[in-house]
Amino acid sequence: MEDWAKGHGLEPYRGRQIRHWMFKRLVSSFEKMTDLPKGLRKTLEQEVLINTLDILGTEVSRDGTKKYLFQTGDTHRIETVLIPERDHYTLCVSSQAGCAMNCRFCLTGRQGLKRDLKASEIIDQVIQVKRELDEPERMTNIVFMGMGEPLANYREVTRAIETLTEEDGMNFSHRKVTLSTCGIIRKIGELGLDVKVNLAVSLNAADEETRNFLMPVNRWNPLKELVEACRNFPLPNRRMITFEYVLVDGVNSGERDARNLARLLSGIRAKINLIPLNPYPGLDLSPPPMDRILRFREILVNRHYTALIRKSKGEDISAACGQLSGKADRDQAA
């Protein structure tokens, strides 16, 4: 923004003013930037987009989860999910339109990759949802767990994280921003050096064969090397890597799987989120019964892991983990 201002013969502080209006005041038009000269506001209106996405519709779940359907300027559709917690909101943002990873349990991957999102389109999801909240300060957490593989769009995602966490950007605490990856090994090492962010890894299996079945990415990012990259990830004191484990009946949810998982993660400061599979029409997999889920968790807890069973929110509006598709063919409340 400062470079833009200087390029137009203006003092750099004008760029900082514009950033403040956009990221702190969340204004929806340049006309509302009242401490800018009228001529500058007119130039901005002519040359700059204040929003890069259009909201096509929203859906609200019985549990209060709200899903936004956005459309990019070139008509690709993405979904963003606002999750109400006890004392704050978490926003689940998308980093790509579609996804190329094709995980067997994930609806997003079935449509393939349309394109990467720009950093501006990632940030705009946050701005537009926050703008709608009665108490925008309650949105404190950002998770890159929406559509797409964040590390496959590395440059734009890290640029977005920088703006989200910079003091003169959106000023989110880096302790409250989490990036979830299916395991792009070479980028995990770079991530820990380039930005401060919590790391979550979608693991879903404790052996190569099962992970190959569930996640094709494992064929060129093998489990053994992925876990080693996690061991080497620079963790601040008292932080842990979150390992996400989608439980699939008859595939990865047995007692032996739990014991193998405990051995695999030995020596890593790890928290394990157990996620019963969220089914969708056409999926030939199902979640295990609750007694097996509880037994799986018990084995991990007995081996001194923090293991949580994550209750999916927004399942009735297809907003739960693995259900995002960017489709507009469901009933929506505008």
Residue 312 per-residue DSSP state: P
Query: pLDDT per residue over 268-293, tens digit each?
Result: 999 999 999 988 888 899 999 999 99
- The pTM (predicted TM-score) of the whole model is 0.92
Query: pLDDT per residue over 92-102, tens digit each?
Result: 999 999 999 99
The answer to whether residue 161 scores a pLDDT higher than 80 is: yes
pLDDT of residue 110: 84
pLDDT of residue 317: 58
Q: Are residues 72 and 187 in the same domain?
A: yes
Q: Are residues 18 and 134 in the same domain?
A: no
Of 28, 68, 70, 69, the residue nearest 50 (C-alpha): 28
Q: Are residues 32 and 104 in the same domain?
A: no
Residue 333 per-residue DSSP state: B
Please give the average per-residue pLDDT across 254-281, as a whole number. 95
| Residue 112 vs residues 32, 90, 125: alpha-carbon distances, Å | 40, 26, 21
- Decide if 332 is inside a domain: no
Residue owning tokens 């880096």: 174
Q: Where are the beta strands (DSSP E) in the chain?
A: 53-60, 66-72, 77-84, 89-92, 96-98, 113-116, 139-144, 177-181, 198-202, 241-247, 270-276, 306-309
Please give the average per-residue pLDDT across 110-136, as a whole number. 96
Task: Give the residue numbers annotated as catalytic, written as ranges.
Answer: 79, 321
Q: What's the chain's average pLDDT?
A: 92
- Decide if 261 is inside a domain: yes
Q: Are residues 41 and 124 in the same domain?
A: no
Query: Which range marks the domain in which residue 42 is found?
Result: 1-50
Q: Are the C-beta atoms of residues 197 and 218 closer than 8 Å to each other? A: no
Q: Are residues 151 and 162 in the same domain?
A: yes
The β-bridge partners of 270 are 241
Query: pLDDT per residue over 55-113, tens digit each?
Result: 999 999 998 999 999 999 999 999 999 999 999 999 999 999 999 999 999 888 888 99
